[in-house]
Structure formats: C-alpha cells, structure tokens
Structure 1
C-alpha cells in the first residue's frame, strides 16, 4: 500500500531501497522557505542498520503489512530463544538480538506476538507491561521532596529502573517494557 511521505507514523514498516525498515521516530518540519517534509529515523529489520531519511509530501513510500501470530516463549539457549506456536505447537528458534533491549524482560511461558513477513519472523512484540521483583534498592535520602524524587533500583532480570522512595527490595512492581519505567506496584 503506497502512502504519502507525511503520513508515515512510528511503528510503520516500510519497504525502502529494497529493504524492510521499521519507523522509530518522526519529526514533521515546515521550513520558512520550501515545502514541508518528514524527517524519519528507521531501523532495518533484517540487518539492524539505522538511517535518517527526509520524505516530502509528494514522495510516496510502500507501507508493508505484516502478519501477526501468537507464540509462547519457552526457554533461552545461549544466544537463541525458543518459541512455540500456540495453534499447532510447532517450535521455532530465533536469535536474541531480534528482540533488542526488550529481551531482558522475557519470562518462561510468556505470551508474545511474532510479526511475519512472507512467513519469515522479523520481530517479536512483548506485552507492554510486565511484573518484576526488585532485588536491590537504594536507601531514601532525607530531605528530598516527595513529589518528584525517584531512586534507582535493580530488578531480578538485572535491569535498572527508577522507583518511588517507598519501594523496598523484595517488592513486586509493574514495569513498562519498552520505556523501562516504573508503572505501579504489582
């Protein structure tokens, strides 16, 4: 499906220069002289390269439609992750770097969504929020204001997040997987 350069949104998958690219960030700019354009930061889904491209409103680009399928994460084996198709119970192994930073939040038995292009998996979507336990939290510094003071804490998967001062070690919290931020107590 062809779309105009100014209709590009984050999360879109585009076919550009014979590759598949996922849009990470966009910035719409209207200079005083000349026409408006969309500055687009994209990541190649096959080899992981990043690029910045300018699309004018007259430019058209091919938006790719991906098939999605429900899978369940079974286990990690070195750099490979094993997933099971929830419909026919077939297992598939994918490299860890396909998930990027979100791989740290994978838990055994977690339901995930694989995005497929021509039956080939190109990305894995985790739930937006997961539960995790805090294993280490700094002590509260007296005299800090309660409204916006957050302290660093380490989760059971090794990820560091900022949490409110009342959160202690051993507390289970809900974390945003892609922003790596505290959402609330579990």
Structure 2
C-alpha cells in the first residue's frame, strides 16, 4: 500500500476502481490545521484530469500496469496494430487509447504501450520524430515581423506551425509531447 508520503510525479495507483497517474503534487502545511498533499491526477482509462487533496496518512492501493516495448506496424482504419518486440504478438489498439499520438505514428516506430488488466490504455512515443513536410504555403517576402509562423502539413497528415523559411519537402524534427516544431533535419 502507498501512503501520502509516497506521492510523487508519475506514481500510478488505484482509486475508486480506476487507475490514476500523479501529474503534479505539492505538499501543503498550512499555519493552522493539518498538513495535506494537493495533487493533479490523470485517469489512465478516460484521460480525465482532476485535482484532489489527500490528508496525511491516507493509503492507496498499488495498480498493476504492464509496460511493453512494441513497434508500430499499420492501421486498418479501425485499429492501430503494434507488434510486441519480445513475443512478436500483435496488439490492436483503438484510437481513443492513442489520443494525440496518432498524429506522429510512423511505420516501424518503436513505442511503449501501457496495459491495464490485459488491455492497452495508453502509448508512449519517442520524444522526437522526424517527418517530411508535404504541404505548406510559400513565404511572402517582407512577411517576417516577429517570429512569424505558418501552418504546414506533415507526412502523417498532422498540422504543425513552422517558421516561414521552411518549404515543401523539408524534413523537420517535432516534439511529440507538445506537437511543436524543433528544427530542420539535414540529411
């Protein structure tokens, strides 16, 4: 069993019958009254984020979450298929479990999938991906006041804001956690 003193970022535990992940926490000791821990929690099944305070001494049940190394294979329109790197078993994953990660998936991309009670609940991608720009508007000369950005569509179909000097066919580096442009990639 976990106690409030064990709470830290990334801790996974079971509360109200669902698995939760600690996103943020802060130990608060008010001048008057008992100390407590203020947390921001994410439901691993639904993605819902809530804020909750825990009194000192409360206990939590550990949750059994399995992390597997997989490789993205293909999408059949309904599910995304990943192959386990150890057992070579294929795991179909629905789009709801993937969330925004769908925008950055490339064939043969290594990933980690979290399983809860035998079913996939979320995916962890590499922090950065390199994608080619398939379409962007040409930059207009003299349109360069203050870090001007334009929309660009990458090979996966996602839209990213890029600087004006980036052109069609350019390979760029994108942060998968934020979806932001990080730079051009020289080949």
Q: How does the TM-score come out when normalised to structure 1? A: 0.80
Call closer, same or farther: CA 1:74–1:55 in 2, change over 3 Å. Answer: same
Call closer, same or farther: CA 1:77–1:29 in 2, change over 3 Å. Answer: farther
Shift of the alpha carbon at 1:64?
3.3
Superposed CA deviations along residues 98-126 of structure 1, whole A, max 9, x for unmatched, are: 11111111111111112233443322211
Equivalent positions of 1:91-102 (< 5 A) are 91-102=90-101
The answer on 1:15 being equivalent to 2:10 is no
Residue pair 2:25, 2:40 contacting (<8 A) in 1 also: yes
The 3-state SS of whatever aligns with 2:100 is helix
**Structure 1 unpaired stretches of 5+:** none
1:113 aligns with 112
Number of equivalenced pairs: 182
The 3-state SS of whatever aligns with 1:163 is strand
Residue pair 1:138, 1:153 contacting (<8 A) in 2 also: no
CA distance in 2, matches of 1:137, 1:3: 54
2:123 aligns with 124
- Aligned-residue CA RMSD (Å): 2.6
CA distance in 1, matches of 2:56, 2:150: 44
Call closer, same or farther: CA 1:38–1:143 in 2, change over 3 Å. Answer: same
Call closer, same or farther: CA 1:41–1:150 in 2, change over 3 Å. Answer: farther
More divergent stretch after superposition (135-144 vs 82-91): 135-144
CA distance in 1, matches of 2:109, 2:117: 25
Call closer, same or farther: CA 1:163–1:39 in 2, change over 3 Å. Answer: farther
Q: How does the TM-score come out when normalised to structure 2? A: 0.80
Shift of the alpha carbon at 1:176?
0.6
Shift of the alpha carbon at 1:19?
1.2
Residue pair 1:3, 1:60 contacting (<8 A) in 2 also: yes
1:175 aligns with 174
Shift of the alpha carbon at 1:18?
1.7
Call closer, same or farther: CA 1:48–1:111 in 2, change over 3 Å. Answer: same
After superposing on structure 2, the runs of 4+ consecutive aligned residues of structure 1 that deviate more than 6 Å are none
1:52 aligns with 51
The 3-state SS of whatever aligns with 1:99 is helix
Shift of the alpha carbon at 1:83?
1.1
Shift of the alpha carbon at 1:16?
0.9
CA distance in 2, matches of 1:138, 1:126: 31
1:153 aligns with 151
**Structure 2 unpaired stretches of 5+:** none
